[in-house]
Amino acid sequence: MGKRFVGIIYAALILIIAAGCSTTKPDISTTKSDSLIVAIGSEPDTGFDPTKGWGRYGSPLFQSTLLKRDDDLKIEGDLATSYEVSEDGKTWTVKLRSDVTFSDGERLTSEDVKFTFDTSASNGSAIDLTNLASVSAGPDEVVFQLKEPQSTFIYYLITTGIVPKHAYSATYAEQPIGSGPFTFVQWDRGQQLIVEANETYYGSKPSFKKLTFLFLNEDAAFAAAKAGSVDVAYIPSAFSKQQVAGMRLEAVKSVDNRGIAFPYVSTGGQTDKGYPIGNDVTADKAIRLAINTVIDREKLVEGVLEGHGSPAYTANDGLPWWNEDTKFPDHDAKAAATILQAGGWSDSDKDGVVEKDGLKAEFTLLYPAGDVTRQSLALAASEMVKEAGIQINVEGKSWDELETLMHANAVMLGWGSHDPLEMYNLYSSDFGGVDYYNTGYYSNPAVDEWFEKALNARTEEEAIGFWTKAQWDGQTGLSAKGDAPWAWLVNIDHLYLVKDGLDIGKQRIQPHGHGWPVTDNIASWSWK
- Nearest CB to other proteins, comparing residues 157 and 378: 378
Q: How far apart are CA 161 and CA 119, in angstroms?
A: 12
**In the complex, what is the shortest distance from the CB of residue 203 to other proteins, in angstroms, rounded to a whole number?**
41
- Nearest CB to other proteins, comparing residues 246 and 396: 396
User: Is 156:65 a contact under the CB 8 Å cutoff?
Assistant: no
Per-residue HEC secondary structure of 190-213 comes to CCEEEEEECCCCCCCCCCCCEEEE
**In the complex, what is the shortest distance from the CB of residue 231 to other proteins, in angstroms, rounded to a whole number?**
21
**In the complex, what is the shortest distance from the CB of residue 4 to other proteins, in angstroms, rounded to a whole number?**
26
Please give the sequence-ordered ranges of beta strands (E in DSSP) within 267-417, or none if there are none: 269-270, 276-277, 309-311, 355-356, 359-360, 362-368, 391-397, 410-415
**In the complex, what is the shortest distance from the CB of residue 407 to other proteins, in angstroms, rounded to a whole number?**
20
- Nearest CB to other proteins, comparing residues 140 and 302: 302
**In the complex, what is the shortest distance from the CB of residue 219 to other proteins, in angstroms, rounded to a whole number?**
7
**In the complex, what is the shortest distance from the CB of residue 408 to other proteins, in angstroms, rounded to a whole number?**
18
Q: How far apart are CA 447 and CA 424, in angstroms?
A: 9
Please give the sequence-ordered ranges of beta strands (E in DSSP) within 109-235, or none if there are none: 132-138, 141-146, 182-188, 192-197, 210-214, 232-235
Grouping H, G, I as helix, E, B as strand and the rest as coil, residue 187 is strand
User: Is 313:487 a contact under the CB 8 Å cutoff?
Assistant: no
- Nearest CB to other proteins, comparing residues 307 and 320: 307
Interacting residues with other proteins (CB under 8 A): 219, 238-239, 241-242, 299-300, 302-304, 369-370, 372, 375-376, 378-380, 382-383, 394-397
Task: Give the burial class of 483: count Cβ atoms within 10 A of its Cβ; 0-12 exposed, 13-18 middle, 19 or more buried.
Answer: buried
User: Is 269:276 a contact under the CB 8 Å cutoff?
Assistant: yes
Q: How far apart are CA 437 and CA 485, in angstroms?
A: 12
- Would you state the torsion angle of the CA atoms of residues 304, 309, 311, 315, taken in this order, to the nearest 10 degrees? -110
**In the complex, what is the shortest distance from the CB of residue 375 to other proteins, in angstroms, rounded to a whole number?**
6
Q: Nearest CA to 325 among 471, 135, 205, 455?
A: 471
**In the complex, what is the shortest distance from the CB of residue 378 to other proteins, in angstroms, rounded to a whole number?**
8
**In the complex, what is the shortest distance from the CB of residue 336 to other proteins, in angstroms, rounded to a whole number?**
18
Q: How far apart are CA 231 and CA 504, in angstroms?
A: 11
Q: How far apart are CA 448 and CA 473, in angstroms?
A: 12
- Nearest CB to other proteins, comparing residues 127 and 385: 385
The kind and range of the H/E element at 304 are helix 297-304
**In the complex, what is the shortest distance from the CB of residue 376 to other proteins, in angstroms, rounded to a whole number?**
6
- Nearest CB to other proteins, comparing residues 55 and 389: 389
- Nearest CB to other proteins, comparing residues 255 and 384: 384
- Nearest CB to other proteins, comparing residues 378 and 522: 378
- Nearest CB to other proteins, comparing residues 162 and 490: 490
- Nearest CB to other proteins, comparing residues 194 and 238: 238
**Which sign, positive or negative, has the C-alpha torsion 444, 449, 451, 452?**
positive
Q: State the DSSP code for 239.
A: G
Cα 279 to Cα 33, 268, 293, 345, 380, distances in angstroms: 58, 8, 20, 16, 22
Helix axes 445-456 and 460-471, enclosed angle (nearest 10)? 170
- Nearest CB to other proteins, comparing residues 66 and 385: 385
Rounded to an integer, what is the distance from CA 27 to the centroid of its chain? Answer: 35
- Nearest CB to other proteins, comparing residues 264 and 363: 363
**In the complex, what is the shortest distance from the CB of residue 372 to other proteins, in angstroms, rounded to a whole number?**
7
**In the complex, what is the shortest distance from the CB of residue 384 to other proteins, in angstroms, rounded to a whole number?**
9
